[in-house]
Amino acid sequence: MGLSAFCFMLARRLRKLNDLETGLGGAIAVMTSEIGRLEKSILLAKAEATAATQALAEEIERAKQERAFWMLQQKFAEPGPQRSNRLQRRRRREGAVVDA
């Protein structure tokens, strides 16, 4: 008789524990749904971070190419080596002597 009362009381406690609204079962169900939601959020954040990383890498590559282009443009735009003033005066004098 004592054993049946114990089993009855244990079954009643287990039912309360597994109740989805107030018991441990409800807490487990809520936690499971939260875990699923968090996993989706993590995957979305990871995908966004990967896309942002790829876009940034492309922008950096374009910037490197543009920098190289402008450095090349600058190199071609530089005038040739300037002759010294002394050499220029000397050539003018020599030209004046030849003309005379």
pLDDT of residue 78: 73
Task: Say if residue 17's pLDDT is above 80.
Answer: no
pLDDT of residue 50: 98
pTM value is 0.50
Per-residue pLDDT of 37-93, as tens digits, reads: 999 999 999 999 999 999 999 999 999 999 999 999 998 887 665 656 676 777 777
- CA–CA gap between residue 90 and residue 39 (Å, rounded): 83
